[in-house]
């Protein structure tokens, strides 16, 4: 994976065609010829895909294939490059030959640009709807409107999808070559796997009144007690679990500065060399103490994108 590639869930080919969301006549006609992505909210938003290796093929069906499947109000995703409209619905996954349920977190990096964009957008919308059944101002129930892109209460109060901005940063020492180091942390909330310990980039939500760069400085200071400089933006991607936008950065720090972890957030943090990171990516054991080996972030995450970008010298 090249350090210049896009983050795995930042890829898309869809024209969102936002002007169509308020055109009921066009939407009704478009539904009849659409491709439909079925997501099952009862199964963490899984969809159907075919194949075992990249690129997986996301399975979309026609509206006629959904006659026996209970489903939600269709969500209009946009228009594909060939002119065919794309929708998503929430409901039990149909049984189709050679198709299996997949989770975006597990397979996002294995999808084509087109399928990554469809799945990410659909899941982000679905998760927003699931959390906004009632108005936060009136307490009244809301219903889906504007082809899935807003919700409205009985008094006409309308809300639109929101994303929570979060920063994530790969802290490094600025040294080139195999002995250059990066600082990764093991989150205190992560489940433990015997013999393994996952380390990832430091991350946190951007607070009200704060810039993304300011959040980088604050979160690194709070989580590991280290001051950073040279904060540089590297890319972003949606992380719809349930509704974040991850803003990726690289930043420099002094590896000789003492690490003081906030144990409520970070169980352990340490510096790793490029040699060690490369070995872990090659599935070679990198000891991290206590009989455990280093495990890196999952391939669909922007965290691993940042690790690769640093590893390849793009920092």
**CATH code where residue 187 lies:** 3.90.79.10
Within 8 A by CB and 6+ apart from 109, the residues are: 8, 54, 299, 300
Least-confidence region, from 60-74, 230-244, 247-261 = 60-74
Tell whether 151 is covered by a domain.
no
pLDDT at 302 exceeding the cut of 60: yes
pLDDT, mean of residues 13-27: 98
Domain membership flag for residue 156: no
Among 308, 307, 10, smallest CA distance to 170 is for 307
In contact, 240 and 10? CB cutoff 8 Å: no
Tell whether omega for the bond before 55 is within 30 degrees of 0, i.e. cis: yes
What is the model's pLDDT at position 71? 75
Residue 153 covered by a domain: no
Residue 314: per-residue pLDDT: 79
The number of angstroms, rounded, from the C-alpha of 303 to the middle of its chain's C-alpha atoms is 10
Across 158-172, average pLDDT: 97
State the pLDDT at residue 4. 53
For residue 148, being part of any structural domain is answered with: no
Report whether 243 contacts 128 (CB < 8 A).
yes
Cα–Cα distance for residue pair 291/68, rounded to 1 Å: 52
**pLDDT of 3:** 43
Task: Give the tens place of pLDDT for each residue, 112-156.
Answer: 999 999 999 999 999 999 999 999 999 999 999 999 999 999 999
pLDDT in tens, 268-300: 999 999 999 999 999 999 999 999 999 999 999
Together in a domain, 124 and 168: no
**Distance between start and end Cα atoms, the chain:** 15
Domain interval for residue 300 = 164-311
Rounded Cα–Cα distance for residues 215 and 202 (Å)? 11
Task: Tell me, yes or no, whether 92 and 175 share the same domain.
Answer: no
Residues 22 and 125 grouped into a single domain:
yes
pLDDT at 172: 98
Residue 182 lies in a domain: yes
193-212, pLDDT tens digit by residue? 999 999 999 999 999 999 99
Say which CATH number the domain at 37 has.
3.90.79
Q: Is the pLDDT of residue 303 over 70?
A: yes
Confidence of residue 256 (pLDDT cuts 50, 70, 90): very high
For residue 1, pLDDT beyond 60 = no
d(CA 5, CA 9): 11
User: What is the domain count for the chain?
Assistant: 2
Name the average pLDDT for the chain: 95
The three-class DSSP label of residue 240 is: coil
Which pLDDT score, from 0 to 100, does residue 275 have?
97
* Same domain as 195, residue 75: no
pLDDT of 174-194, one tens digit each? 999 999 999 999 999 999 999
pLDDT of residue 65: 87
Residues 6+ apart with CB under 8 A from 83: none
The label of the residue with tokens 């409107």 reads 145
- Asked if 230 and 299 sit in the same domain, the reply is yes
pLDDT of residue 5: 82
Q: What is the CA radius of gyration of the chain?
A: 22
């Amino acid at each position: 994976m090249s350090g210049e590639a896009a983050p795995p869930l930042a890829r898309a080919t869809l024209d969102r065609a936002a002007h169509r969301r308020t055109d009921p006549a066009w939407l009704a006609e478009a539904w009849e010829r659409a491709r439909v992505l079925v997501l099952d909210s009862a199964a963490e938003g899984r969809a159907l895909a075919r194949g075992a290796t990249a690129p997986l093929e996301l399975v979309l069906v026609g509206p006629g294939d959904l006659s026996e499947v209970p489903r939600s109000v269709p969500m209009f995703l946009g228009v594909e490059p060939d002119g065919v409209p794309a929708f998503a619905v929430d409901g039990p996954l149909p049984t189709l030959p050679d198709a299996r349920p997949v989770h975006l977190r597990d397979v996002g990096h294995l999808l084509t640009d087109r399928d990554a964009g469809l799945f990410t957008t659909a899941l982000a919308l679905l998760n927003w709807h699931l959390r906004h059944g009632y108005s936060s101002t009136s307490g009244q129930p809301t219903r889906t409107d504007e082809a899935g892109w807003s919700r409205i209460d009985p008094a006409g109060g309308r809300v639109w999808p929101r994303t929570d901005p979060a920063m994530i940063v790969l802290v490094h020492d600025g040294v080139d070559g195999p002995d250059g180091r990066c600082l990764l942390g093991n989150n205190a909330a992560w489940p433990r796997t015997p013999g393994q310990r996952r380390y990832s980039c430091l991350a946190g939500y951007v607070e009200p009144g704060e810039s993304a760069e300011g959040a980088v400085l604050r979160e690194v200071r709070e989580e590991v007690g280290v001051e950073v400089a040279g904060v540089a933006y590297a890319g972003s991607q949606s992380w719809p679990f349930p509704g974040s936008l991850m803003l990726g950065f690289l930043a420099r720090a002094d590896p000789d500065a003492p690490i003081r972890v906030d144990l409520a957030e970070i169980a352990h943090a340490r510096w790793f060399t490029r040699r060690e990171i490369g070995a872990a990516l090659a599935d070679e054991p990198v000891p991290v103490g206590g009989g455990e080996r280093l495990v890196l972030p999952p391939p669909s995450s922007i965290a691993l994108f940042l690790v690769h970008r640093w590893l390849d010298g793009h920092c």
